[in-house]
Amino acid sequence: MDSETPVIRTYDLTKRFKKLTAVNEVNFAVKRGEVFGFLGPNGAGKTTTIAMLLGLVRPTAGSAEVLGHDIRHNLSTALRRVGAIVETPAFYPYMSGIDNLRVFARIDGGDTEEHIPAILEQVGLTGRGKDKVGTYSQGMRQRLGLGAALLGDPELLILDEPTNGLDPAGMQEMRVLIRYLADEQSKTVFLSSHLLHEIEQVCDRVLILNKGQVIAQGKVKELLSQAHAIELRIEGAERAAEVLSRLDWVQGTSREGGWLHVQAPPERTPELLAALAAHSLFPFEVRPVVSTLESVFLDLTHESTDGTDV
């Protein structure tokens, strides 16, 4: 497998539970070294997809490759190079963090046990490794979960909602840790979340899943820039729309209430005003529309709910 081969690739991956299609012909590719966000509301099919990638659930149709191996056959070889957290990781509460990791390391096989101190340091639990997991906070347990996923120094981490149950500070720490693993340890990270804010801050690319269907995917920045706009109140809005639609950086115009909505990056506002002034068009109000991934997501999930809900 060369460095260009996607670390994960799916081909119309589908899972049906009786009449419910939980994952519907999903296609995506995760590149080596990136943090890939798998975003969707509750019930979108995130965990089901991840369970298929880890060989825990059989696809009904379609297929996928993890580290070049077909998930329907001989996945165990590939899984040795994958670390995963699926839903909330379970530990023995009466044992220390270190001893829990030792148990996992033994299940993993190999000489992973000697790496435990380094792993504890990476996940920020060095001082607490000898304490019983039962005394850990939720955030510490999540970090220990990531520690368990790091045993065996995997090249791919598959993390299903790793910040579930964390407070804002804990989430921030987890994001920093994930970025560090990708940037400094060259790991590829596949991360699911229902929190846009989180994906927006940590991921290079994102896929948005709703009701088992892919509704958008791309670079976070590009998805956001599609939603950026400039809005104007102007006398002669029709003429203004005509002038502006001739500019190659304007993707479209529409009338919304009393506003002329111009699909263009807000940082081009001065050029937009100059173009209008050249035609003696002077807006009396101008405002930028800077979308968050959240508004893009809500728009998209709203559209797909309207359209495909049969």
Ligand X SMILES: Nc1ncnc2c1ncn2[C@@H]1O[C@H](COP(=O)(O)OP(=O)(O)OP(=O)(O)O)[C@@H](O)[C@H]1O
**37 touches ligand X (CB under 6 A):** no
Contacts of 235 (CB under 8 A, 6+ apart): 281, 282, 284
Stretch that binds ligand X, among 1-9, 40-48, 150-158, 236-244 (CB under 6 A): 40-48
| Residue recorded with tokens 């996940």 | 123
Answer with the entry of ligand X, Mg ion, none that 43 interacts with (C-beta below 5 to 8 A by kind).
ligand X
Min separation Cβ 88 and Mg ion, Å: 10
Nearer to ligand X, 47 or 253 (CB): 47
Q: What is the DSSP letter of 45?
A: S
Closest CA to 37 of 183, 150, 195: 195
Chain residues 155-194 in contact with ligand X, contact rule CB under 6 A: 194
| 49 sits near Mg ion (criterion: CB under 5 A) | no
48 binds, among Mg ion, ligand X, none (CB under 5 to 8 A by kind): ligand X
Torsional sign, CA 122, 125, 129, 132:
negative
Asked if 204 and 18 count as a contact pair (C-beta separation under 8 A), the reply is no
Q: How far is the CB of 11 from ligand X (least distance, A)?
A: 19
Virtual torsion, Cα 203, 193, 291, 227, nearest 10 deg: 80
Our finding on whether 42 is near ligand X (CB under 6 A) is: yes
24 binds ligand X (CB under 6 A): no
**Complex with ligand X: residue 141 or 211, whichever CB lies closer:** 211
Reference 174, options 205, 141, 204; nearest CA is: 141
Partner touching 118 among ligand X, Mg ion, none, CB below 5 to 8 Å by kind = none
CB 166 within 8 A of CB 102: no
Q: Is 47 a binder of Mg ion (CB under 5 A)? A: yes
* Gap between the Cα atoms of 288 and 232, Å rounded: 9
Are 82 and 152 in contact by the 8 Å Cβ rule? The answer is no
Indicate which of Mg ion, ligand X, none lies near residue 44 (CB less than 5 to 8 Å, by partner kind). ligand X
User: What is the nearest approach in angstroms of Mg ion to the Cβ of residue 77?
Assistant: 26
Token pair of 207 as six digits: 């896929």
> For binding to Mg ion (CB under 5 A), which residues are involved?
46-47
> For binding to ligand X (CB under 6 A), which residues are involved?
17, 20, 22, 40, 42-48, 194
